[in-house]
């Protein structure tokens, strides 16, 4: 009797030990597959589009804008130049690659694969992007200075390094020309140059710098400021940066406090190296004890093993529920001082990580539960076979369940194959009966000037077809021929430069910008970015043919003739898609459904031309607009501009132009509320519906939702 009691106690202890060990192994397996797996973290970031949201939501959040402006204000480069080119120098895919490297280093350290935590950033992709951008921007200038057809950047950088060394040593660099500056221009240049020097020495340096610049002696002015500007601290920082850049990596681990990470590593190493193998060994021993101390019947032993495995899995699932109840979907509390967009991004990342972790834990729990259920089920099935046939009667509930599934399938299968989808126009069934002049369309300002196409100072990020995929239905495009040097120098006649300075600049640009044949889409100056017109038109045509229920509008800022434009559309094969507006601008437009039925779904306007092709009409005969040269969001207004006040179509220019586009301001004005408020105000003031909402950086904010709301309000 005593022996059997001890055996039962041993069996009970073995069963409990097996259950706990199965749960521990499942939990450690979950940790290996989630928080200690680099793919887990990368998947969370990818699922929440973290890299794109960083650019399009966080960095342009109005709450973070003052901080960003303060940081940018310390650099002697216009804010718009930095923010508009940010995604060119450090695009999301490059940032993703850099982040993936750090995730891999950290996970390897926590798992014990490596003994030292080396967080090093590979700077080569960033340097390559900067190099590519600088070569696009400065290529013609460098080749002109070197009097070569193609620039030699290695020689240019060597000369530049030598010149900087001379300036830092207080020696005027050789080769700089004298400039004929007016007194006002010299004083302005002196003030700008002195900002590079410490504030306490500017007063001492100012007289000599001002005199040198008034005499046009730029080299001497630089030499005066150089020693003060290139302080020892600056030299040290430059040396560190040069070392990092030349080596291709930047070791950031030395700048971080890693004590907490080391404590976490100690815990993970203990768990993976000691707890997990110990639990696995004890679990196997406990299951063996259950088998050897179990009842005589083998089926009953198997049932005990099955219940132990299933109970361990259920314990794991219970732990998952406890974690969800105690920790929630946001383990890290977000500070109220954080900007809303950053808080939302962190909350979404936490929620996604917790969901994936719990899903991994429940999956790990399911394995022993399924194994245990299989063992118990096999035992039950074997016992059923040993029972007399007359004792096995068909159950009611299995039969009822099969009948219900059959009826549900019979009802749902016809619905799955039915074609009762309502007709859609421009993405909405409600717009098919709406006239073209009654709908609102998201419009991409300077649609060709994109980060993807490597424009200097881009105003959009995705290429044109991706903009169309994002909901844009009107594109503002600028057509050009590549500038000849004389065309660039002609612009100097409208400047306030003195004659001698104009002559010097004109001489400098004679070797710039050798013209390229054909028609181009550029933003002001083709050397700052250009894509060919005809191939781009073909891409738009291909997109239209792949989307037969959409209408697209092009508003062309035309610096080429109407005849050349007509030829480009003919060469691109778009004549069968072109819509011809009524000759009378006051007549109502057809409905979108009518335009789609006729397959004339490409509307083309020009800012200057009016023909000769009948489909190529002057935009301002048919449309009116707001001003477009707004410097700050507070400047936005609805006052009449080109096109007067009584046209059927209404263009709302909703972007900021301050030394180029402003990505930061786009974060303020591209919000759904800001777009709606201004559109409603302008509609009341101008007495007509807004048809085109033109924005920069269309992926920033939610202008598309505002346009959808405008259309919904017009039902």
Q: Does 195 lie in the same domain as 97?
A: no
| Residue-wise pLDDT tens digits, 298-342 | 777 777 788 888 888 888 888 888 877 877 766 777 777 788 888
CA end-to-end span of the chain? 87
Of 104-108, 395-399, 710-714, the least confident: 395-399
Please give the full DSSP string across 359-426, using - where no structure is assigned.
HHHHHHHHHHHHHHHHHHHHHHHHHHHHS-GGG----HHHHHHHHHHHHHHHHHHHHHH---PPP-BT
| Residue-wise pLDDT tens digits, 148-164 | 666 776 777 777 777 77
Q: The domain that contains 678 carries what CATH number?
A: 3.20.20.190
Task: Give dist(CA 12, CA 26) in Å, integer.
Answer: 21
Distances (CA, A) of 357 to 49, 103, 107, 260: 18, 17, 16, 22
Distances (CA, A) of 559 to 524, 580, 642: 10, 22, 17
Q: 518 and 491 in contact (C-beta within 8 Å)?
A: no
Residue 487 DSSP SS3: helix
Does residue 565 surpass a pLDDT of 90? Answer: yes
Q: What does DSSP assign to residue 181?
A: -
Q: Which two tokens stand for residue 221?
A: 């002015």
Q: What is the mean pLDDT of the chain?
A: 80
Tell the residue number behind the tokens 């021929």, with chain if given: 481
Q: What does DSSP assign to residue 17?
A: H
Q: Does 201 lie in the same domain as 350?
A: no
Does residue 3 surpass a pLDDT of 70? Answer: no
What H or E segment, with its residue span, contains residue 556? strand 552-558
- pLDDT band of residue 643 (cuts 50, 70, 90) is very high
**Is 524 part of any domain?**
no
Read off the pLDDT of each residue in 367-387 and give the average, rounded to a whole number. 76
pLDDT value for 247: 55
Which residues fall within 8 angstroms of residue 327, CB to CB, at 6 or more apart? 354
Q: Which two tokens stand for residue 713?
A: 């309000």
For CA atoms 561, 566, 568, 574, the dihedral sign is positive
Q: Does 682 lie in the same domain as 548?
A: yes
Look at strands 249-251 and 120-122 and give their pairing: antiparallel
Of 213-217, 227-231, 556-560, 638-642, the least confident: 227-231
Per the model's pLDDT, the better-predicted residue between 406 and 136 turns out to be: 136
Q: Does 134 lie in the same domain as 113?
A: no
pLDDT value for 155: 77
Q: Does 231 lie in the same domain as 137?
A: yes
Does residue 596 surpass a pLDDT of 90? Answer: yes
Which of these three, 196, 222, 248, is where a domain ends? 248
pLDDT value for 134: 66
Per the model's pLDDT, the better-predicted residue between 490 and 691 turns out to be: 691
Task: Give dist(CA 695, CA 620) in Å, integer.
Answer: 19
pLDDT value for 101: 82
Nearest to 37 by CA among 266, 367, 357: 357
Structural domain that includes position 208? 129-248
Does residue 414 surpass a pLDDT of 60? Answer: no
Highest mean pLDDT among 346-360, 515-529, 668-682: 668-682
- pLDDT band of residue 586 (cuts 50, 70, 90) is very high
pLDDT value for 398: 39
Q: Does 451 lie in the same domain as 586?
A: yes
Q: Does 695 lie in the same domain as 550?
A: yes
**Is 423 part of any domain?**
no
In this structure, the number of other CB atoms found within 10 A of the CB of residue 134 comes to 14
Task: Give dist(CA 658, CA 461) in Å, integer.
Answer: 18
Which of these three, 248, 263, 290, is where a domain ends? 248
Q: 592 and 432 in contact (C-beta within 8 Å)?
A: yes
* Longest CA–CA separation in the chain, Å: 118
Which of these three, 216, 248, 280, is where a domain ends? 248
**Is 455 part of any domain?**
yes
Does residue 420 surpass a pLDDT of 60? Answer: no
Q: What does DSSP assign to residue 296?
A: S
* Three-class SS of 68-82: HHHHHHCCCCCHHHH
| Residue-wise pLDDT tens digits, 449-472 | 998 888 878 899 999 999 999 999
Task: Give dist(CA 567, CA 573) in Å, integer.
Answer: 10
| Residue-wise pLDDT tens digits, 437-448 | 999 999 999 999
- pLDDT band of residue 73 (cuts 50, 70, 90) is low
Q: Does 297 lie in the same domain as 257?
A: yes
Q: What does DSSP assign to residue 295?
A: -
Q: Does 370 lie in the same domain as 477?
A: no
Phi/psi region, residue 420 (left: phi>0; alpha: psi -120 to 50; beta: rest), is alpha
Task: Give dist(CA 378, CA 308) in Å, integer.
Answer: 15
| Residue-wise pLDDT tens digits, 185-235 | 888 888 888 887 888 888 888 899 888 888 888 888 888 888 887 765 565
- pLDDT band of residue 236 (cuts 50, 70, 90) is low
Task: Give dist(CA 484, CA 479) in Å, integer.
Answer: 15
pLDDT value for 659: 64
Which residues fall within 8 angstroms of residue 653, CB to CB, at 6 or more apart? 445, 625, 626, 627, 628, 630, 641, 694
Look at strands 692-695 and 441-444 and give their pairing: parallel
Does residue 519 surpass a pLDDT of 90? Answer: yes
Percent over 90 (pLDDT), the chain: 28
| Residue-wise pLDDT tens digits, 602-631 | 999 999 999 999 999 999 999 999 999 898
Which residues fall within 8 angstroms of residue 295, CB to CB, at 6 or more apart? 301
pLDDT value for 195: 81
* 159 cis-preceded (ω within 30 degrees of 0): no
Does residue 416 surpass a pLDDT of 90? Answer: no
Percent over 70 (pLDDT), the chain: 78
**Is 598 part of any domain?**
yes
Of 129-133, 192-196, 538-542, the least confident: 129-133
Q: Which two tokens stand for residue 651?
A: 């263009």
Of 83-97, 100-114, 651-665, the least confident: 83-97
**Is 420 part of any domain?**
no
**Number of compact structural domains in the chain:** 3
Task: Give dist(CA 87, CA 75) in Å, integer.
Answer: 18
- pLDDT band of residue 90 (cuts 50, 70, 90) is confident
- pLDDT band of residue 241 (cuts 50, 70, 90) is low
Of 64-68, 100-104, 392-396, 692-696, the least confident: 392-396
Q: Does 273 lie in the same domain as 241?
A: no
Q: What does DSSP assign to residue 55?
A: I
Burial of 441 (C-beta count, 10 Å sphere; 0-12/13-18/19+): buried
Q: Does 547 lie in the same domain as 680?
A: yes
Q: Does 541 lie in the same domain as 460?
A: yes
């Amino acid at each position: 009797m005593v022996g059997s009691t001890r055996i039962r106690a041993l069996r009970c202890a073995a069963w409990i030990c097996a259950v706990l060990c199965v749960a521990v192994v499942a939990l450690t397996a979950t940790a290996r597959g989630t928080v200690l797996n680099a793919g887990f973290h990368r998947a969370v970031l990818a699922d929440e589009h973290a890299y794109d949201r960083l650019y399009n939501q966080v960095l342009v959040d109005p709450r973070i804008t003052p901080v960003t402006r303060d940081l940018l204000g310390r650099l002697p480069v216009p804010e718009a130049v930095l923010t508009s080119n940010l995604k060119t120098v450090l695009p999301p895919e490059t940032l993703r690659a850099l982040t993936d490297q750090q995730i891999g280093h950290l996970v390897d350290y926590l798992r014990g694969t490596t003994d030292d935590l080396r967080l090093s950033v590979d700077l080569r992709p960033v340097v390559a992007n900067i190099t590519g951008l600088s070569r696009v921007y400065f290529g013609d200038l460098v080749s002109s200075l070197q009097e070569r057809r193609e620039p030699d950047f290695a020689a240019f950088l060597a000369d530049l390094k030598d010149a900087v060394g001379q300036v830092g040593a207080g020696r005027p660099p050789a080769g700089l020309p004298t400039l004929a500056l007016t007194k006002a221009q010299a004083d302005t240049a002196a003030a700008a140059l002195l900002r590079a020097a410490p504030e306490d020495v500017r007063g001492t340096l100012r007289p000599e710098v001002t005199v040198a610049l008034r005499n046009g002696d730029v080299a001497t002015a630089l030499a005066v400021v150089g020693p003060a500007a290139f302080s020892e601290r600056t030299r040290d920082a430059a040396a560190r940066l040069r070392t990092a850049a030349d080596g291709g990596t930047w070791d950031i681990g030395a700048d971080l406090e890693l004590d907490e990470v080391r404590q976490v590593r100690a815990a993970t190493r203990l768990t993976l190296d000691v707890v997990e193998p110990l639990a696995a060994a004890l679990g196997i021993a406990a299951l063996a004890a259950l088998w050897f101390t179990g009842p005589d019947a083998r089926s009953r032993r198997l049932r005990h093993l099955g219940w132990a495995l299933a109970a361990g899995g259920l314990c794991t699932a219970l732990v998952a529920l406890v974690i969800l109840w105690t920790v929630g979907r946001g383990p890290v509390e977000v500070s109220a001082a954080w900007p809303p967009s950053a808080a939302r991004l962190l909350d979404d990342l936490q929620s996604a990580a917790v969901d994936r972790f719990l899903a991994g834990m429940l999956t790990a729990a399911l394995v022993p539960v399924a194994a245990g259920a299989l063992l118990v089920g096999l035992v039950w099935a074997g016992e059923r076979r040993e029972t007399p046939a007359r004792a096995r009667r068909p159950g009611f509930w299995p039969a009822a369940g099969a009948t219900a599934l059959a009826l549900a399938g019979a009802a749902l299968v016809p619905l799955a194959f039915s074609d009762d989808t309502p007709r859609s126009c421009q993405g909405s069934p409600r717009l098919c009966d709406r006239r073209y002049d009654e709908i609102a369309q998201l419009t991409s300002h300077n649609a060709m000037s994109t980060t993807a196409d490597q424009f200097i100072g881009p105003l959009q990020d995705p290429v044109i077809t991706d903009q169309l995929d994002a909901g844009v239905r009107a594109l503002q495009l600028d057509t050009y021929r590549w500038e000849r040097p004389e065309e660039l120098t002609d612009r100097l006649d409208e400047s306030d430069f003195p004659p001698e300075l104009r002559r010097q600049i004109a001489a400098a640009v004679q070797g710039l910008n050798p013209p390229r044949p054909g028609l181009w889409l550029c933003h002001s100056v083709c050397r700052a970015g250009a894509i060919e017109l005809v191939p781009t038109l073909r891409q738009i045509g291909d997109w239209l043919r792949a989307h037969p229920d959409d209408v697209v509008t092009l508003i062309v800022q035309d610096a080429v003739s109407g005849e050349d434009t007509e030829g480009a559309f003919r060469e691109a094969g778009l004549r069968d898609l072109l819509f011809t507006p009524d000759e009378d601008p006051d007549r109502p437009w057809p409905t979108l459904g009518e335009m789609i039925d006729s397959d004339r779904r490409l509307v083309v306007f020009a800012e200057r031309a009016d023909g000769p092709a009948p489909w190529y009409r002057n935009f301002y005969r048919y449309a009116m607009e707001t001003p477009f040269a707004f410097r700050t969001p507070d400047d936005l207004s609805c006052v009449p501009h080109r096109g007067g006040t009584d046209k059927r179509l209404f263009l709302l220019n909703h972007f900021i132009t301050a030394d180029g586009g402003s990505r930061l301001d786009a974060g303020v004005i591209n919000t759904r509320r800001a777009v709606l408020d201004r559109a409603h105000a302008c509609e009341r003031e101008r007495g007509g519906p807004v048809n085109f909402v033109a924005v920069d950086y269309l992926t920033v904010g939610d202008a598309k939702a505002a346009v959808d709301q405008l259309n919904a309000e017009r039902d």
